[in-house]
Amino acid sequence: MIARFYSKTFILLLVAMFITGCTAIKSSRDIVEGIHFERIDSNAASITHIYLHRRAPDGMDLHGELKRKLAGRGQIPGHLHITLIDPQGQILKEANVDYKRHNAQSNHAHFSIPLPVSLETGSTIRITHMAAERNDLGDHTQWTDDSAH
């Protein structure tokens, strides 16, 4: 009886240590603070989650998820237009980014992209879902400067 009590206690202790370790790992991903996100949804999808993480030595990675607004499964038409804006409101870079569904049954899609510049505190990342346009962007994102427009 006592051995059974100790084995349950040991298992609970291991589970608690595992959960604590996973929490520490997740928080060590160094989420970037002080950057504003502007989400512009379409009638087809809404941008549900956005994360910005530091990448060694001085880069940043943008990750996120979007969800189909209408019930049902299948592809989410379109692509994302990402605009990087400095604290003074000047556009630094822009790009069209594709996203991928987790599986064929999913009504969610995710995106992940390294940013071409490190953003200052107070900068904004505008993410616009462009539903009416084709999403045959390929695997390589092409960032453009504001001067190209």
Q: Where are the alpha helices (DSSP H) in the chain?
A: 2-27
- N- to C-terminal Cα distance for the chain? 76
What is the Cα–Cα distance from 34 to 124, expressed in whole angstroms?
A: 9
Residues near 85 by beta carbon (within 8 Å), at least 6 away in sequence = 91, 92, 123, 124, 125, 126
Query: 138: helix, coil or strand?
Result: coil
How far apart, in whole angstroms, are the C-alpha atoms of residue 86 and residue 97?
A: 20
Model pLDDT, residue 93: 95
| pTM exceeds 0.85, yes or no | no
Q: What is the pLDDT of residues 30-42, one digit of tens each?
A: 678 899 999 999 9
Phi and psi (nearest 5°) for 112?
Answer: -155, 130
pLDDT reading at 45 higher than 70: yes
Residue 28's pLDDT band (cuts 50, 70, 90): very low
Q: Which CATH fold would you assign to the domain 36-148?
A: Immunoglobulin-like (2.60.40)
pLDDT at 136 over 50: yes
What pLDDT, on the 0 to 100 scale, is given for residue 77?
84
Indicate the domain borders of the chain.
Answer: 1-30, 36-148
